[in-house]
């Protein structure tokens, strides 16, 4: 672990523990990667609190029903806004059994519903399966959200590869002439599968360039990633939802986030951007362990609440 960069002292023990337990992610098989994520999810899972309900429902998809978990406040009456939380896991390790603690934390902080879809995953289901499934879920919520108690206000949120999907859904929705979500929240987003930025070539805390390239290869095989797979390579970003972008100072994906923010602003999209120095990829979900992650989570919730209230809509 290089000491030439500022590393938040709170995260150092976690980095050392992950390095000791998992080593080089890029050398793990798909089965080993999934086992690693399952082990981590089990170790960090918390019992469902009394003030939150955990349900399941399905959305029609292009290749069959798409299973979704639905978290909502216990005893809530009336329609509620919806956060769609696209799961991360380098695409290959996504599971509805491994949603983490963010859905419950969002329900408790915002009094909203949280929908977590399970898109098809590679290598069994290569590109564009996940993109198509996530777009199908968003379209269904726009047209049928009242079925699950939604009030029509939707925010898309994703971390890492989940943020790739959130940003892509906004672009796909624009192209299809659909309404945009109130906000797209992109935490440590992967936005270009072929990036060669300084950060991707310098940092390897938690996530390395080799890990990223391996995940892309599992998704795209021997073919180069098409433009649709990389939101930063979209021909046009104008017309997509306002964005709240969270980057980490030691994340190999950091510079992609900065570049996406710059493009959104240049094309007239409302953007708020918060970079957290000394933090690594995945820190946003560590709000039970890290002070900076708790700050990031609360700031994110404030932005989402403003979006639900219509405060980010054009005047």
Confirm if 289 and 196 have CB atoms less than 8 A apart.
no
Q: b vs e for 203-240, b when ≥16 Cβ sit within 10 Å of the residue's Cβ?
A: bbbbbbbebbebbbebbbeeeebeeebbbbebeebeeb
* Alpha carbon distance 306, 176 (integer Å): 26
* Alpha carbon distance 194, 217 (integer Å): 11
Query: Can 273 be counted among the known catalytic residues?
Result: no
Report DSSP letters for 132-161, one per residue: HHHHHHHHHHHHHGGGGTEEEEEEEEEETH
Q: Is 281 left (phi over 0), alpha (psi -120 to 50) or beta?
A: beta
Bridge partners (DSSP) listed for residue 113: 82
Confirm if 101 and 83 have CB atoms less than 8 A apart.
no
Catalytic residue of the set 133, 192, 251, 255: 251
Q: How many CA atoms lie within 13 A of 308 on its CB side?
A: 20
Query: Can 160 be counted among the known catalytic residues?
Result: yes
Please tell me whether residue 52 adopts helix, strand or coil conformation. Answer: strand
Bridge partners (DSSP) listed for residue 59: 66
Catalytic residue of the set 160, 195, 199, 285: 160
* Alpha carbon distance 162, 131 (integer Å): 10
Catalytic residue of the set 88, 281, 285, 287: 281
Query: Can 251 be counted among the known catalytic residues?
Result: yes
| Cross-sheet strand order for the sheet of 243-248 | 52-59, 66-73, 113-117, 80-86, 150-159, 183-187, 243-248, 271-276
Catalytically annotated residues = 160, 251, 281
């Amino acid at each position: 672990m290089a000491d030439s960069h500022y590393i938040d002292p709170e995260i150092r023990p976690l980095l050392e523990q992950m390095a000791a337990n998992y080593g080089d992610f890029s050398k793990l098989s798909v089965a080993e990667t999934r086992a690693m994520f399952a082990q981590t999810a089990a170790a960090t899972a918390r019992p469902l609190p009394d003030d939150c309900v955990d349900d399941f429902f399905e959305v029609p998809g292009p290749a069959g029903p798409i299973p979704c978990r639905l978290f909502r406040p216990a005893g809530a009456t009336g329609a509620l806004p919806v956060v769609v939380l696209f799961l991360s896991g380098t695409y290959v390790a996504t599971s509805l059994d491994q949603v983490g603690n963010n859905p419950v934390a969002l329900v408790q902080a915002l009094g909203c519903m949280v929908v977590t879809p399970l898109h098809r995953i590679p290598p069994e289901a290569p590109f564009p399966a996940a993109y198509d499934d996530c777009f199908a879920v968003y379209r269904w919520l726009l047209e049928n959200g009242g079925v699950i108690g939604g009030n029509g206000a939707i925010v898309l949120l994703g971390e890492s590869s989940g943020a790739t999907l959130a940003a892509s859904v906004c672009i796909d929705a624009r192209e299809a002439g659909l309404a945009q979500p109130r906000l797209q929240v992109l935490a440590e987003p992967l936005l270009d599968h072929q990036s060669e930025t300084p950060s991707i070539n310098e940092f390897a805390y938690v996530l390395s360039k080799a890990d990223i390239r391996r995940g892309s290869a599992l998704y795209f095989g021997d073919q180069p990633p098409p433009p649709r797979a990389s939101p930063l390579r979209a021909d046009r970003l104008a017309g997509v939802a306002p964005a709240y972008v969270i980057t980490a100072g030691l994340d190999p994906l950091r510079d992609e986030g900065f570049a996406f923010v710059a493009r959104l602003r240049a094309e007239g999209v409302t953007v708020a951007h918060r970079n957290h120095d000394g933090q690594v990829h995945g820190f946003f979900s560590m709000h039970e362990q890290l002070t900076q992650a708790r700050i990031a989570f609360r700031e994110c919730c404030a932005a989402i609440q403003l979006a639900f209230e219509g405060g980010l809509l054009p005047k």
